[in-house]
Amino acid sequence: MDAHSLTRRAFLAGLAAAGLTACDTPQPAAVAPVHHQPGVLAPSPPAAGVAAYGVTARTRTELIAVLRTVTSRGVTVAVGASLFGDRFGLRAPRRLTTMPKFAGDVLEEQWCHGDLLLQALADTPAQVDLQLADVPGLTLRWRMNGHQLPEERNAFGFKEGAGNPATPQVWAGDDEPACYRGGTYQVVRLIKLAMPTWDHKSTEDQERVFGRRKESGEELPAMLDSHVRRARPAEEKHKILRRGYPFVTEPGQIFVCYQRDPETGFAAAQRRLAGEELEKYLLPFGGGYFFVLPGVDGSKDDYLGRAMVESS
Ligand code: HEM
């Protein structure tokens, strides 16, 4: 059999037999082209929904059926730490842990974590509902719907996104198992906002809290203790890519961020923010740490998570 007649499965089986699987061998990019899921860099759409699930599928075959279904939905698919271990014998992304409790968090277990996270980004809430419709083999753990306010402002009235890196460096590095190359770590936080109290502050006081002008978004110089100055890392490589979706039902914010390492990205920023003035107006109660799987290669039978399943 020459190399061209090898199926991808046979190719992987051959690697596995030789002790070389996509999940534990560094592969040069030329051998394994890298694909990304489009929902990571996509700008914030009018409607969004994030939903975390428990996987009730028991076998790898059932898990593959779940992954094929969610791939066909066009949602962004991410895995949580609880999917790994003995359940399916899959090897986890190196830096995937369970979201810890940070200072000021009042976490409610039923709003935290999940084996799988689906994120729907769409034009209308009805499309979000379609994309997040029930999937056999998954049970819903929690779901939050978000929407876009005019001018991409959050519920506090400030513009979102100005401090995002122009060229996000969020994709998992070469030190991850090769089957995860092209993926990224996704942190989701569900945060209630103390609206009436916030609205009682003068615009000047609110601007001092964030370190930016409310109307223009322009940064205020010399506000070293502001949200933006505390949140900003010293090194460009630790910058996170943030997306914010105000809750549809009550004052709150779905905070989503992407990075190549959740510890030096989100967690480090969160610790720098501990004790900030903004903290008085925030109540983080849910969310989780997830890993967005690499994208599909465009061929008919590819599905999200295929390399993860086939190579472990
Ligand atoms: C509901 C809670 C939050 C609100 C309302 C909020 C709001 C804002 C606003 C208005 C800005 C300035 C505009 C922009 O750059 O997007 C900003 C910047 C930023 N925020 Fe937040 N934020 C929240 C939570 C967080 C959390 C939990 C983190 C990370 C742990 C974070 C990290 C950052 C970073 C890194 C920047 C950019 C700083 C820079 O300019 O370099 N934020 N946030």
Pocket-forming residues, ligand 1, beta carbon under 6 Å: 154, 156, 158-163, 189, 191, 210, 212, 227-228, 231-232, 240, 242, 253, 255, 266, 269-270, 273, 282
Q: Any idea what DSSP says for residue 234? A: S
Range of the domain at 126: 3-311
- Minimum CA distance residue for ligand 1 atom 17: 228
C-alpha pair distances (Å), 133 with each of 35, 69, 70: 26, 11, 10
Query: Which stretches of the chain score pLDDT less than 70?
Result: 1-32
Q: Ligand 1: which atom is nearest the Cα of residue 193?
A: 1
Helix (H, G, I), strand (E, B) or coil at 287: strand
Whole-number pLDDT of residue 222: 81
- Minimum CA distance residue for ligand 1 atom 33: 231
Which of 169, 242, 243, 259 for mutating ligand 1's site (highest number of atoms within 8 Å of CB)?
242
Q: Ligand 1: which atom is nearest the Cα of residue 240?
A: 35
Give the pairing of strands 184-193 and 138-147.
Answer: unpaired
Whole-number pLDDT of residue 25: 52
CATH, residue 237? 3.30.70.3420
C-alpha pair distances (Å), 99 with each of 34, 102, 267: 27, 9, 9
- Minimum CA distance residue for ligand 1 atom 16: 161
Helix (H, G, I), strand (E, B) or coil at 269: helix
Whole-number pLDDT of residue 16: 40
Distance 228 CA to ligand 1 centre (A): 6
- Minimum CA distance residue for ligand 1 atom 7: 160
Whole-number pLDDT of residue 152: 87
Q: How many CA atoms, within 13 angstroms, populate the side-chain half-sphere of residue 21?
A: 19
Q: CA angle, 265 as apex, 248 and 311 as ends, to 5°?
A: 95
Whole-number pLDDT of residue 227: 98
Please write the tens of the pLDDT for every residue from 136-185: 999 999 999 999 988 889 999 999 999 999 999 999 988 999 999 999 99
pTM of the model: 0.92
Sequence-ordered strand ranges (E) for 124-208: 138-147, 184-193
The CA distance from 156 to 283, in Å, is 14
The H-or-E segment that residue 121 falls in is strand 116-122
Whole-number pLDDT of residue 22: 53
Terminal C-alpha separation, the chain: 25
Whole-number pLDDT of residue 5: 36
Whole-number pLDDT of residue 223: 87
Q: Domain tally for the chain? A: 1
CB 256 within 8 A of CB 119: yes
The CA distance from 145 to 139, in Å, is 17
Whole-number pLDDT of residue 8: 39
Distance 73 CA to ligand 1 centre (A): 30
Nearest CA to 73 out of 309, 258, 296 is that of 296
